[in-house]
Amino acid sequence: MISGAQIMVKCLEKENVSIIFGYPGAAICPFYDALIDSSVKHILVRQEQNSVHAASGYARSIGKPGVCVATSGPGATNLITGIATAYTDSIPIVAITGQVRSDLLGRDVFQEADITGACEPFVKHSYLVNDTADLPRIFKEAFHIASTGRPGPVLIDVPIDIQDNTIDEFEYPQNVNIPGYKPNTKGHTVQIKRAIDLIQTSSRPVICAGGGVLTSGTKLKLVEFANKTGIPVVSTMMGIGVMPSDHDLYLGMLGTHGKGVANRAMHEADLIIVCGARLGDRAVAAPDQITKTSKIIHIDIDPAEIGKNIKTTIPIVGDMKNVMNHLLDSIGDYHVPALWADTVERWKTDLFRTPPKFEGFVEPRAFVAKLSEMLPSKAILVADVGQNQIWCANNFRIKEGRFLTTGGMGTMGYSVPAAVGAKFARPDREVVVVCGDGSFQMGMNELGTMAQNHLNIKIIIMRNDRLGMVRELQKKNYHEHYTATFLDENTPDFMKIADAYNIPSAKAYSNEEAERIAAEMLQKDSSFLLVCYVNPDTPSI
């Protein structure tokens, strides 16, 4: 005899899950009880939303689904923002929630929430389990759905009686058979041929790479393709890291907060090869403007992304890796015309601006650039949301590491929990958080998780006592009517907070100071919190 809860744990073991992030409660207690006898390690977060962000940081760093757990009702509803974040950013997550007894469903009993209903718009798929015997199949399917095709979160809601009920024996299915889910991974040969023809006749081509390139593990192939053809590469925010930042052909991030040269290349191109990017409004504000002068080859695993935001000349549905291999094999000796290569090269120098400095403050952009030189090549930088995110996106010089941020949903408070997940996934790598004083205060409860697990995570807070990005928006678009964007009167002393968790800390008022402290903290094998005082007038770009 085996209980539903034991089956759930066994399923995780079968999926080679070694670590899960969660927060217990009454309705998920049978699962937690079964967990004691398992090799699966549970990390207690300090708020359920952070369990999803931690699972996201873990998944992105290791390339397999992250798992998070919460109880019914408020535990489950706290997951929603995390789940929505993972959905928009296409991160594979399996979220498990406890639920009230199935015979009480719909009676509004204590801690009951219709979580499958509430999450419907934000999950790739969800299950409300109504039979213990279905658990193995559901878990198998959930991991398959979360991690294949366009990755995303899958929710499994398990009523407590389903966890308690027993069945005779546990058998984990070998295969999945979901009639309605067969992602097309091989790009259409004829379409790829047409794409090759179009590339070969183009005179001003640009590659626009998104998160899909990283998810599919295609970044080396993309670099190879760019090297071979000389086609310059711009990336979306989720695509940062597709190429080393210092690569000659890399032009940086595009979009409203992107690099001038990246946007200029997009606007002057006669062909844009969109790879695993959905081109949301922050990336391309006026897609119709671009398609007037440029043809579009759009490669994506999700057919629904093609033609959604930008009109496509040649759609290719398939896994980026397969398609990129195919393109590499067939491109022949095409190389971009020298004129285009020279023009782009000239823009790079023309459009480069050194940020002005404010006395008595850290210049965050220069510091982020310097920090990237100081970090090991494979370091993982986790940026939060706001000005800190843009400073990092545009100035962090990525080498072989990762840049993690929530580019699609833009959820404040992402960085600290995501870094916790990343550190568990890659304990051998330096993991650094850059956040603002606003975003830090949304995720700082995870200092508890860091301290409890003796993690080595370096946190850099860019403190300007403002909600800087909104303030900037108010300055530009709302006639300098600054409302609700001041933190200064009540911003706590972050060093005291760090101290409460026994995490050492320091503060810096100049780049020299910040660099010196950063160099020292990077020598240490333990967490550290560095508060950089930034002038509130420092712009995002």
Partner 1 sequence: MKHTLYILVENHAGVLSKISGLFSRRGFNIDSLAVGITSDPKISRITIVAQGDEYVTEQLEKQLNKVIPVIKVKSLDEGTFISRELLLVKVHCNASNRTELMKVAELMNARIVDVAVNSITLEYAETVEKLETLINLLKPYGIREIVRTGTVAIEKGTALNSK
Given the rule CB under 8 A, which residues bind partner 1? 116-117, 120-121, 124-125, 128, 145, 178-181, 302-304, 307-308
* H or E stretch covering 126: strand 125-128
In angstroms, the CA 316 to CA 531 distance is: 46
Q: Nearest CA to 68 among 48, 91, 84, 88?
A: 48
Q: Nearest CA to 324 among 148, 185, 182, 144?
A: 185
Distances (CA, A) of 399 to 120, 375, 456, 520: 38, 10, 21, 21
Q: Where are the alpha helices (DSSP H) in 41-134?
A: 48-62, 74-88, 115-118
Q: Which is nearer to partner 1, 165 or 312 (CB)?
A: 312
Structural tokens at position 160? 């407590």
In angstroms, the CA 285 to CA 289 distance is: 9
Distance of closest approach, residue 301 Cβ to partner 1, in angstroms: 11
Q: Which is nearer to partner 1, 74 or 307 (CB)?
A: 307
Q: Which is nearer to partner 1, 129 or 206 (CB)?
A: 129
Distance of closest approach, residue 315 Cβ to partner 1, in angstroms: 11
DSSP 454-473: T--EEEEEEE-SB-HHHHHH
Distance of closest approach, residue 308 Cβ to partner 1, in angstroms: 6
Q: Which is nearer to partner 1, 211 or 241 (CB)?
A: 211
In angstroms, the CA 78 to CA 100 distance is: 16
Please state the separation of Cα 413 from the chain's center in Å. 13
Distance of closest approach, residue 122 Cβ to partner 1, in angstroms: 10
In angstroms, the CA 84 to CA 414 distance is: 12
Q: Which is nearer to partner 1, 178 or 473 (CB)?
A: 178
Q: Which is nearer to partner 1, 179 or 360 (CB)?
A: 179
Strands 93-99 and 125-128, sheet pairing = unpaired
Q: Which is nearer to partner 1, 120 or 350 (CB)?
A: 120
In angstroms, the CA 129 to CA 344 distance is: 55
DSSP 167-236: ES-----S----TT-----SPPHHHHHHHHHHHHT-SSEEEEE-HHHHHTT-HHHHHHHHHHH---EEE-
Phi first, then psi, for residue 461 (nearest 5°) are -100, 125
Distance of closest approach, residue 74 Cβ to partner 1, in angstroms: 22
| Residue 286 neighbours by CB under 8 Å, 6+ apart | none
In angstroms, the CA 225 to CA 231 distance is: 8
Distance of closest approach, residue 153 Cβ to partner 1, in angstroms: 13
Q: Which is nearer to partner 1, 87 or 403 (CB)?
A: 87
Distance of closest approach, residue 125 Cβ to partner 1, in angstroms: 4
Distance of closest approach, residue 212 Cβ to partner 1, in angstroms: 15
Distance of closest approach, residue 99 Cβ to partner 1, in angstroms: 14
Distance of closest approach, residue 136 Cβ to partner 1, in angstroms: 17
Distance of closest approach, residue 304 Cβ to partner 1, in angstroms: 4
Please state the separation of Cα 380 from the chain's center in Å. 12
Q: Quick one: CA torsion of 174, 179, 181, 186, rounded to 10 degrees?
A: 90
Phi first, then psi, for residue 61 (nearest 5°) are -85, -25
Q: Nearest CA to 216 among 130, 320, 137?
A: 320
Q: Which is nearer to partner 1, 178 or 285 (CB)?
A: 178
Q: Which is nearer to partner 1, 220 or 304 (CB)?
A: 304
What is the residue type of 347?
W
Q: Nearest CA to 472 among 540, 393, 382?
A: 540
Q: Which is nearer to partner 1, 139 or 250 (CB)?
A: 139
Distance of closest approach, residue 353 Cβ to partner 1, in angstroms: 39
Q: Which is nearer to partner 1, 116 or 405 (CB)?
A: 116
